[in-house]
Amino acid sequence: MNSGKIILGVLGGIAAGAIAGILLAPEKGSKTRKKIMDKGKGYADDMKIKFEDLYQNATSKHENVLQDSKELFKNNEMK
């Protein structure tokens, strides 16, 4: 699955949850907004971790491909 679609889905879910929370909240607006901000921060932190993992994975694969191509070039040069 495309990571862009996942990110859009998560952001859409956050927005829908925030709207539903505001409309259906039994508490004062200030308390509800604080809860939404806290949840949003948690989601943002989770997304940051997932993005960092994705970046690390892509960097690792890039380095592996680069190393393999250097070795291939070196082997072809020797022949």
Biggest CA-to-CA distance, the chain: 77
Domain limits of the chain? 3-78
The list of the chain residues with pLDDT below 50 reads none
- Cβ contact 13:3 at 8 Å: no
- Cβ contact 32:21 at 8 Å: yes
Please list the alpha-helical segments (H only) found in the chain: 3-24, 29-78
- Per-residue pLDDT at 1: 55
- Per-residue pLDDT at 79: 61
DSSP state, residue 27? S
DSSP state, residue 22? H
- Per-residue pLDDT at 63: 92
pTM of the model: 0.48
Residue 75 to residue 79: CA distance in whole angstroms: 7
